């Protein structure tokens, strides 16, 4: 029985690796100052797919299946930034314009 589990696991890994996946990358910056927002959470809504920005505000989300998603960027002290994205097979989306969050209004 153990052999069957390993064979099924191997088949599952091969099937997942053959699917067409894409990448989303970019920067999260403060709208008011243009400064990078370090360690912000960037993720696709209603999925477990996401990443965190580095000290330069840069993030990379890999292995994104094709489809339509809402990309969210969150950080304590800032409003949530939402952006709709459509991913095609083997497409790499790079966000090059500053599009971070502004602190909430008092």
DSSP label of 82: E
pTM above 0.85, yes or no: no
Any domain includes 76: yes
Query: Residue 32: which CATH number?
Result: 2.60.40.1120
Q: Look up tokens 């069957």; give the residue.
A: 4
What pLDDT is attached to residue 6?
39
Contact residues for 88 (Cβ-Cβ < 8 A; gap 6+):
22, 66
Residue 59 sits in which domain range?
Answer: 20-95
Q: How far apart (Å, rounded) are the C-alpha atoms in residues 45 and 55? A: 23
Number of domains the chain contains: 1
In a domain, 8, yes or no: no
Round to whole Å and give the CA distance between 52 and 28: 10
Hey, how many other C-beta atoms are within 10 angstroms of the C-beta on 17? 9
On whether residue 9 sits in a domain, the answer given is no
pLDDT profile of the chain (106 residues), mean per 10: 38 47 85 86 93 92 89 88 83 56 46
Rounded CA-CA distance 57/89 in Å is: 26
In a domain, 47, yes or no: yes
pLDDT recorded at residue 19: 57
| Cα–Cα distance, 106 to 99 (Å, whole number) | 21
Whether residue 102 lies inside any domain: the answer is no
Q: Is residue 104 part of a domain?
A: no
């Amino acid at each position: 029985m153990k052999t069957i589990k390993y064979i099924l696991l191997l088949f599952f890994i091969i099937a997942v690796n053959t699917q067409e996946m894409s990448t989303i990358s970019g920067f999260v910056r403060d709208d008011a100052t243009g400064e990078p927002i370090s360690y912000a959470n960037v993720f696709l809504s209603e999925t477990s797919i996401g990443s965190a920005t580095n000290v330069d505000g840069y993030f990379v989300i890999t292995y994104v299946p094709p489809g339509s998603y809402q990309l969210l960027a969150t950080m304590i002290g800032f409003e949530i930034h939402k952006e709709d994205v459509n991913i095609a097979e083997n497409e790499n989306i790079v966000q090059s314009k500053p599009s971070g969050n502004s602190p909430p209004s008092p």
